[in-house]
Every structure is written in C-alpha cells, then in structure tokens.
Amino acid sequence: MKYIDVGSERIPALGFGTFQLHGQNCVDAVKDAISIGYRHIDTAGMYHNETETGEGIKASDIARNELFVTTKLWTDSLAPDAVRKTTEHSLQQLQTDYLDLLLIHWPSSSVPLEDTLGAMHRLREEGKVRFLGVSNFTIAWLKEVDKTGIPVITNQVECHVLLSQEKLLNYMREKSMFLTAYSPLAKGRLVNHPVLDDIGRKHGKTSTQVALRWLIQQDDVAAIPKASDQEKRRKNMAIFDFELDSEDLEKIDALEKNRRFVDFPGLSPEWD
Ligand SMILES: NC(=O)c1ccc[n+]([C@@H]2O[C@H](COP(=O)([O-])OP(=O)(O)OC[C@H]3O[C@@H](n4cnc5c(N)ncnc54)[C@H](OP(=O)(O)O)[C@@H]3O)[C@@H](O)[C@H]2O)c1
C-alpha cells in the first residue's frame, strides 16, 4: 500500500468505493475488501448504503482505528443544523463514534460555504470528524474554501487516464491538498483499453491495473475504485508490485485527457 501523509496521519492511497452497492452485496463487499487489505472505505449519504457499509466494517473484525472511513453531505444537508443532524445520522448508520473524513459532496450556492464548513469544523472540534474535505470542487470553488481559513485535506473529483485534472491537481498541491480520484476506471470504460492493455502486457498486468497504477504512482493522488466481485477487488489491489516507466507514461500522456463521464447539468459546477 502507498500512503498519503497528512500531518502525522497516513491515509491509504487506494480505497474502496461503494457507490451502487446495496443490501447484503454491500455488506459482503465491504467486509471482503477489508479482509483483502483495503483500509480506506468511501461512502456517502446519497448512496443509501451507510448502514450496510457499517455492517461490513463491523463484520470485518478490523479495529476501527485501522480504517479510514469517508462519507459525504448531500446538497440538501449543507445548512449548519442539517450538517450536524446528517452527520450524526451517518455516524449512527455506520456504527462508529467518528468519521475519518467528511466531504461536501457537490458545491452549492444554496448555503454560504463558510456556514457549511463552519458547522463541519465544529464537528471536528468535538471529535466526531477527524478531517474535512470537498468533492467536485473546481479551482474557483477551492478559492472560496481558502477564504474561510478552514483546513480541508482533499477534493474528491473524477480523475483517470482520460481526465488528468492536471490544472486542478497543481492548484491543490499549492494548497497542500491531495486529490482523491473517483471513477478511476472511468466507470469501467478502461477495461480492455487497447493502449493500457498493451502497456499491461509488458508488466503482466491488466488494463485496469495500469489505469489505477497511473493514478497511485502520482504524488498526492488517492483512488477509490468500486468493484462488486472479489476477483476485481483483488486485481485492483495488486498494483503495488510494478512501476510504469517513462515509455508507458508517454503513451498514457498521449491519450485524450478531458473525457468526463460524471456530469449533471444543474448540479455540476463550471468545470476547470
Ligand atoms: N464524489 C462523487 O461525486 C463521486 C462520483 C462517482 C463515484 N464516486 C466514488 O468513487 C467510487 C468509484 O467510482 P465509480 O464506481 O463511479 O467507477 P469506477 O470505480 O471507475 O468503475 C467501476 C466499474 O468498473 C468495474 N471494475 C472495477 N474493477 C474492475 C476490474 N478489475 N476489472 C474489470 N472491471 C472492473 C466495476 O465492475 P462491477 O460492476 O462488477 O462493480 C464497475 O462497473 C464510487 O464507488 C464512489 O465511492 C464519487
């Protein structure tokens, strides 16, 4: 495992995404992911699976302090009282006393950002949340975060070999933030990608392993692939025993770098 250092905290750079996992499938997937070494779990109120995620965590028998658990506040939960109420509900669903990371899921003008972050910060002071972050924030929105003076450690955004987020990542590095790459497999579109397959053959790896390695090999980048079955989860973990060389990186750099697959008119900000 590679880790991202945040102060004295070491955050596992590879996490497990749970979007669209539900019911017993979600419980089993989370439990199994932890059993094969995942220590960073990503959920959200909007995924409607915090209860199952919590059950999977509990069933794993791994001490809570060995796990890094993230959840997110949806756009209807950004007013200060809603931040508190929703977070307490998430804690209850996840059967935990604290969250490692609480994110604003999407930027929204419906509530002043300083009010939402202020409420999140108070939860942090009370020990209910260890770190704060945002998701789907552009550079313009991150500048607004900066104005509040409240520290956020990450911005979770779509990022993969076809959407490099170079400009955003460079800005985030200046602010000592790391980027958490969601949909790191472009929602499955990178399975059997010809260029990645070709690079993978050289290393005895698959196209998806090359795609994840490309992310994890960068400084200040974490990735949270989702996989519904154990074989895929294991494959996604097996990316720490090889390295992409300059020739591989050149081939990946030559791919188009602005293909976005997660975009919701009315919800998405004006992307960088
Ligand atoms: N903050 C946000 O707004 C936001 C938005 C989207 C996602 N996310 C987070 O990011 C996580 C991952 O993103 P995602 O679920 O959108 O997409 P993803 O991880 O890029 O791709 C998931 C798809 O790839 C398939 N897959 C995974 N590993 C594979 C492998 N080794 N070989 C072949 N296929 C493989 C999965 O198969 P199966 O169908 O079998 O699982 C699924 O169809 C989510 O679960 C969620 O936690 C956050």
**What's the confidence (pLDDT) of residue 113?**
98
In tens, the pLDDT along 168-201 reads: 999 999 999 999 999 999 999 999 999 999 999 9
In tens, the pLDDT along 107-153 reads: 999 999 999 999 999 999 999 999 999 999 999 999 999 999 999 99
For residue 43, the ligand 1 atom closest to its alpha carbon is 47
For the chain, the structural domain boundaries read 3-253
Which regions of the chain does DSSP assign to beta strands (E)? Answer: 3-6, 9-12, 16-17, 40-42, 68-73, 99-104, 129-135, 154-158, 178-182, 221-223
Cβ(103)–Cβ(75) below 8 Å: no
Chain mean pLDDT for the chain: 98
For residue 42, the ligand 1 atom closest to its alpha carbon is 47
**What's the confidence (pLDDT) of residue 60?**
97
What phi and psi, each to the nearest 5 degrees, are found at residue 268?
-70, 145
Q: Which of 134, 80, 132 is nearest to 110 (CA)?
A: 80
Catalytic annotation, pick one of 3, 38, 47, 98: 47
User: What span, in angstroms and rounded, lies between the C-alpha atoms of 58 and 224?
Assistant: 20
User: What span, in angstroms and rounded, lies between the C-alpha atoms of 157 and 223?
Assistant: 10
Distance 93 CA to ligand 1 centre (A): 22
252: exposed, middle or buried (Cβ count in 10 Å: 0-12, 13-18, 19+)? buried
Pocket of ligand 1 (CB under 6 A): 17-19, 42, 105, 135-136, 156, 182-188, 191, 208, 224-229, 232, 235-236, 262
User: What span, in angstroms and rounded, lies between the C-alpha atoms of 51 and 219?
Assistant: 33
In this prediction, the residues of the chain whose per-residue pLDDT falls under 50 are none
Nearest residue (by CA) to ligand 1, atom 24, is 188
Q: Is 47 an annotated catalytic residue? A: yes
Q: Which CATH number fits domain 3-253: 3.20.20.100, 3.10.129.10, 4.10.520.10, 3.40.640.10?
A: 3.20.20.100
**What is the CA 160 to chain-centroid distance, rounded?**
12
Distance 121 CA to ligand 1 centre (A): 30
Q: b or e along 146-163 (b: 16 or more beta carbons within 10 Å of the residue's beta carbon)?
A: eebebbbbbbbbbbbbbb
**What is the CA 57 to chain-centroid distance, rounded?**
17
**What's the confidence (pLDDT) of residue 261?**
98
Nearest residue (by CA) to ligand 1, atom 5, is 182
Pocket test for ligand 1, best of 22, 185, 263, 268 (most atoms within 8 A of CB): 185
**What's the confidence (pLDDT) of residue 179?**
98
Tokens of 61: 């028998």
**Which secondary structure element, helix H or strand E, spans residue 86, and what is its range?**
helix 80-94
Cβ(5)–Cβ(178) below 8 Å: no
